[in-house]
Structure 1
Amino acid sequence: MKRLLLAAGGGGDAITATVIHAALHSPGTPALVLTYAWERLVVDPVPGPRRTTDFTGIERAAPELALLTEKSAPIAPAGSLLPRLSGALRPRLGLLDPYDGTIGLARQIRAAAHWCRADRIDLVDVGGDIVARGDEPTLRSPLGDALAVAACAATGIPTTVYVAGPGLDNEVPLPDLLPRLGAPAFTLDPVHTDGVTGVFDWHPSEASALLVAAARGVRGVCGTRDAPRPLLLDGTAAGVHRLTLERVLELNPLARALADCADLDTAEDVSRTICGFSEIERERHRAAHAHPRDDARRECAPLVNAPLRARYAAWERGTRADGIEYVTTRRIIEELALSGAEAQALLHELGRATPPRRVPPLWRLVVD
Structure 2
Amino acid sequence: MKRIVIAAGGGGDPIAAAMVGTALYGSVEPVLVLTYSWERLTVDPLPGPRGRADFAGLESPRPHLDLVTGSTTPVGAAGSSLPRLAADLGTALGLLDPSEGTAGLARTIRAAADYCGVGHVDVVDVGGDILAAGDEPTLRSPLGDALVLAACARTGLAADVWIAGPALDRELPERDLFARLPEPAFALTDAHVRPVRRAFGWHPSEASAMLAAAARGVRGLCGIRDVGDPVRLDGRSAGVHRLPLGQALALNPLAGRLADCATLDEAERASLAVCGFSEIARERDRARAVGLAASAGLVSSAAGFSAASADGAGVVERYDR
Partner of 1:186: 186
Deviation at 1:365, TM superposition (A): 5.3
Higher relative contact order (CA 8 A, sep 6+): 2
Q: Which moved more, 1:246-255 or 1:190-199?
A: 190-199
CA RMSD in angstroms, aligned pairs only: 2.4
- Asked if 1 retains the 8 angstrom alpha-carbon contact of 2:197 and 2:310, the reply is no
Partner of 2:57: 57
Distance in 1, matches of 2:169 and 2:318, equals: 25
Secondary structure of the 1:193 match is helix
Residues 94-243 of structure 1 aligned to structure 2 (within 5 Å): 94-243=94-243
Partner of 2:266: 266
Distance in 1, matches of 2:152 and 2:258, equals: 12
Distance in 1, matches of 2:292 and 2:245, equals: 36
Deviation at 1:22, TM superposition (A): 0.8
Secondary structure of the 2:141 match is coil
Task: Figure out how many residues of one structure are paired with residues of the other and give that number.
Answer: 316
- Asked if 2 retains the 8 angstrom alpha-carbon contact of 1:200 and 1:361, the reply is no
Counterpart residue identity of residue 84, structure 2: R
Is residue 36 of structure 1 aligned with residue 33 of structure 2? no
Change (3 A) 1:248 1:340: closer
Change (3 A) 1:131 1:365: closer
Gaps of 5+ in 1: 302-333, 348-357
Deviation at 1:264, TM superposition (A): 0.6
Change (3 A) 1:162 1:340: closer
Secondary structure of the 1:195 match is helix
Change (3 A) 1:288 1:339: closer
Change (3 A) 1:122 1:19: same
Deviation at 1:290, TM superposition (A): 2.2
Secondary structure of the 2:237 match is helix
Distance in 2, matches of 1:359 and 1:10, equals: 19
Deviation at 1:200, TM superposition (A): 1.4
Is residue 21 of structure 1 aligned with residue 29 of structure 2? no
Larger radius of gyration: 1
Distance in 2, matches of 1:292 and 1:163, equals: 38
Distance in 1, matches of 2:235 and 2:30, equals: 30
TM-score by structure 1 length? Answer: 0.81
Gaps of 5+ in 2: none
TM-score by structure 2 length? Answer: 0.93
Partner of 2:311: 360
Counterpart residue identity of residue 109, structure 2: I
Q: Encode CA deviations 1:282-304: one digit per residue, 9 max, x unaligned.
A: 1001001125997xx98xx9xxx
- Asked if 2 retains the 8 angstrom alpha-carbon contact of 1:5 and 1:32, the reply is yes
Distance in 1, matches of 2:224 and 2:278, equals: 23
Deviation at 1:90, TM superposition (A): 3.8
Identical amino acids, percent of aligned pairs: 55
Deviation at 1:6, TM superposition (A): 0.6
